[in-house]
A and B are shown apart, each in its own frame.
Chain A
């Protein structure tokens, strides 16, 4: 039940809105004439929306739709102010924005009919549309940071393009919005937010959901504020034009608050608003008033006829997207098994990594993260010196993991290879929405029209006593996300080839680094006697430490990654002596997809596998690896060990007991060899 206070607020807001609606001046003939095409577009949008609702009612459409009937002029007004190269990011109620920007009304209908000829091959449907210059997604506010990133691309290119983000006023509850607003303001980006303020968030009145003022919020972030409504079209078009021009010419973020009213339900039939209220705004709707205008009667009739003809045709001949075409992803599944000797230079991993990024920056890449500017150079000093060497390519941001990640996605859409640094792996959960709902989805839901080759890199792991929220290894939360590859650095292998390799991948990818491993000198092949050190699989290959002698006597294959792989190599002799197990160590760099071919042969030979992972063992990487190995080598005896499933404490002894240590590996090997 809405509280009395909220109800009163809402009633007050609606009253003011009604006043706007009734006090709007009548459109002049001059305006109508000079903006006839725009108004025609508005009628087209409405007609398409109504046709879609009709198709749903007939059962010829699947899923859902959020029509913008009553709000058509917002998209038209903004699109009038845009030019080639500008981008719109939209939301669930995107049809009007899409048609206004692209004109592809027929493809939109096909999309909702699930046809291959649709905007996104029928895959994305109503909420997930894509075209060059247009992108929409169903999660509220998540595309705002993406829009910021796109803007940065324009700025770096010296272009005067803008990004326009459509939101509803309900989206002002999402953190993404404020992170993006802060970031765009700090950098000074031509980012336009258009808030279609229709005073209802789905079923919840604004009076219940919102406090303060929209203007106050925008201006508190340093954004320029504009306001208008959809009843005074002339004022609307002028405001939008001025606002966009302001952003474009002054490279400044601009917030446009557009009052409007949704005449239809939130989606198809869910509407708890008072009928009288809806009827009032319907009667005062501009398009409704214009619909009786003789000029527009013909337009409406023509539009309706065209829509009907199109629908009739596609319903007969329409083709669906094929399963085989859809299912294929961009993950690097092809794995090389070429092996070569591994000789590492004597250099610390952190320095080798910095050099690797130096190379990438030299080739035009960007690094974005918190506290990465010189002289600080990042929490682990990875970017030390790079900011000064490559100004503008090392972007230090506020503490906004979601915005940073979305920004990186946007930059990659703008053609800029971007490495997003999340300071501690523990914080990556703040960016999960960007990874899962944007980066992961773009390729498939937009029918493979948009790739996102952003790299998100983050140091994980315990061993420093940093405590529960600074010591986690959260790989398992990131593994198995659609179309997202996951890699792990290790001081067993120089990182340069891997970094370059992942910079070229078409899919989004995550690079797990180990804060404990940063300080290690790269593994030297002569540091353990009587072993061979090779790398199999090329750039994303696996380091293989093989004991010399008759390999038929090898007992176990040990598969690990990151710091633990290095720890096992460092203690190879002692682990062997204590466990009475002769083992071959595979330190993988590619965690997903699993490079089974790198160690399949050895697994078949020994029949025993020990998987060692840094994160907690249950439901982790080791479990998936064990399953996949069991499919190809059914008789193999496989064990996996990982950290205990409790938050990692700060006290040293307890932390050691929780994390995987040398003795855990010895004990596990002993159990395997009996």
Chain B
């Protein structure tokens, strides 16, 4: 017996039966669906699900925050890191992402002060400990990460920590999905929606998917049972022609999300256009600091002017992020671009599709059948 109810979500026996039921529902009908979130990409690949659920095909979407950060934004951060007296605080995944100005790791090797932090508040603490430095947080992430950055911004202003600021590269998932689907939803029959983003914004925030695109969508958790349960719901809805938002992660996600976190986001940030790798500029898909918090706005403090994007030649990360190609279709995949020597962000991030495919999918059918 599991020691708590949440451990039951990784029960392999129930997992096998859900898989059998899913395959029974899919039958011989090929169907294309998308997992939006990078954490789902990794969970699906690690469990070997992709090959087991065919002819249902799951494509990855624009849900890895490191991957969707545009080259020009990252290059601006790398240049900032090389500025005198500046300490850049970043989440670990960002460190090795290549940009046209090099990576943060390379800047650090050349003498820049780049620190890895695990939360936005750690960045603030670093600024309080090192008053002689300008500490700049590289604030990437979706609705899940942004509330923490909002709290750090508020505390910095309240406490007058004048040497702390952030580059807000936060991005919002619903406008990105809108942009992704607007040219036509192509052959997509369903969307697996990000569970953690939904804990903050709520399942209601995705209702436009059924309204505007007649697309079934299911909010899912990250255990194999969660993913299988949500896929069962999606296949049933797709076959019956019932587009709706289904909350299949009810232990964590409420329809209205987390009101406290949403209020904090609203207080500190306002939506603004943002550049996405793959999607280009998407209206209202980013978060910038409101006027009241301009004191912690690194873009203002350092006069950051974004330059042109120059992604690595040959890198097809942008198309991978839109589900247009799968990673092995990129000529660089495993051939000049590996997790050890990545050329693009999708191979760097542990949430990136290319890394997930490289680690878990290269054996094709064999990888899928393991375990």
Pairing of A with B: no
